[in-house]
Amino acid sequence: MEPDWIWGLVGGLLIGLGGAVYLLGNGRIMGASGIIGGLVDGSGRNTATERLAFLAAVAIVPIVLTPLYNIEITTNLTSNWVVVAAAGLLVGVGTRIANGCTSGHGVCGMSRFSLRGMVATVFYILAGGITVVLFRHILGVI
Amino acid sequence: MQILFAILAGGLFGAGLFVSGMTDTTKVKGWLDVFGNWDPTLAFVMGGAIIPMVLAWQLTRVSRPLAGGVFPPPPPHEIGHRLVIGSVLFGIGWGLAGLCPGPSIASLSYGGIGGLIFVAAMLVGMGAAPAIGNRLDRLAEPA
């Protein structure tokens, strides 16, 4: 069994390749929060089919690949639904206010050396790190 | 044509999330947990994803989108309150659940009820975001 970081690198390359296809093919930035958010607030109405096709592929491909790798795919998500719902709300509000998430600001933004992408990435990683320390090690909730 | 590229891009994105293990929230939380059992995988995922994208951005200088249209304009330089506050809120939610928007959509096919709750709440948050953003803009205005 190869170490996790090799699979991380290979998976990362695939994600980046996806971003490259979306950019060079459709001329658009592959940001998950923007693609979803445009469907929610109506700003992406003209490109709704393309957005839905992208999201459907994201959702279907992992489950299709699972049998090939003979591993069980699981999120290991906490069963505390209050935490899950609060987290979802924060992710939804935050990514739309900041106009990007891990894929948009992180992958697509930093790769074009965008200052906004880098600043956003520093802030969401710092906030995430502090949250894990606080809620896991001090409060023991997650 | 655009639909085809969207399916191909989404498929590669989904495959990448699966292969890298980013579908598992313990790996994401492990990356954020610097004081616990720190897991550096996410840094390799991010680094790996940036490599093809750097090349793709270079190609945008000498080509046009294959399906027509134009490439995105250069990114704005403005570092405003929206970027910072939004990213902090996102980071808190990301740390709490270990899910960001891409993997949360992927989790719809295997994540059970938890993934559904997360995505439903995220959609509500995205719907509320424009109003919250406007409120922030008013608060940020000098009195």
Q: What average pLDDT does the segment A121-139 reach? A: 95
Spell out which residues of chain B touch residue A5, defining contact as CB-CB under 8 Å.
40-41, 44
Count structural domains, chain B.
2
Chosen domain end from B60, B75, B90: B75
Is there a single domain that holds both residue B87 and residue B23? no
Spell out which residues of chain B touch residue A46, defining contact as CB-CB under 8 Å.
none
Is there a single domain that holds both residue B69 and residue B129? no
Is there a single domain that holds both residue B87 and residue B111? yes
* Most B-contacting residue of A26, A71, A103, A105 (CB-CB within 10 A), to test interface: A26
Rounded to the nearest angstrom, the gap between the alpha carbon of residue A83 and the centroid of all alpha carbons in its chain is 18
Give the angle A35-A77-A73 at the CA atoms, nearest 5°.
Answer: 80
| pLDDT for the residue A142 | 81
Is there a single domain that holds both residue B59 and residue B107? no
**Residues B109/A60, Cβ–Cβ less than 8 Å:** yes
Chosen domain end from B50, B75, B100: B75
Of B80, B118, B77, B89, the C-alpha closest to B101 is B118
Spell out which residues of chain A touch residue B62, defining contact as CB-CB under 8 Å.
none
Is there a single domain that holds both residue B16 and residue B43? yes
Is there a single domain that holds both residue B8 and residue B62? yes
Chosen domain end from B31, B46, B75: B75
The one-letter amino acid code at B37 reads N
Q: What letter does residue A138 receive in the DSSP assignment?
A: I
Is there a single domain that holds both residue B39 and residue B1? yes
Q: List the single residue in B48, B93, B104 with the smallest CB-CB distance to A10.
A: B48
| pLDDT for the residue B143 | 56
Is there a single domain that holds both residue B69 and residue B94? no
Spell out which residues of chain B touch residue A102, defining contact as CB-CB under 8 Å.
46, 94, 100-102
Is there a single domain that holds both residue B15 and residue B65? yes
- How many residues would you count in chain A? 142
CB-based contact, B30 to chain A, within 8 Å: no
Q: Per the CB < 8 Å rule, is B16 touching A36? A: no
Is there a single domain that holds both residue B102 and residue B89? yes
pLDDT per position as a tens digit, B55-94:
999 999 999 999 999 999 999 888 999 999 999 999 999 9
Q: Is the pLDDT of residue A77 over 60?
A: yes
Q: Per the CB < 8 Å rule, is B53 touching A81? A: no
Q: What average pLDDT does the segment A112-136 reach? A: 96
Other CB atoms within 10 A of residue B46 CB: 24
How sure is the predictor about A67, in pLDDT bands with cuts at 50, 70 and 90? confident
Q: How far is B129 from chain A (nearest CA, A)?
A: 5
Q: What average pLDDT does the segment B3-18 reach? A: 97
Q: Per the CB < 8 Å rule, is A41 touching B127? A: yes
**Residues B42/A129, Cβ–Cβ less than 8 Å:** no
What residues make up the domain containing B47? 1-75
The one-letter amino acid code at B130 reads P
| pLDDT for the residue A110 | 97
Work out the widest C-alpha separation in chain A, in whole angstroms.
Answer: 47
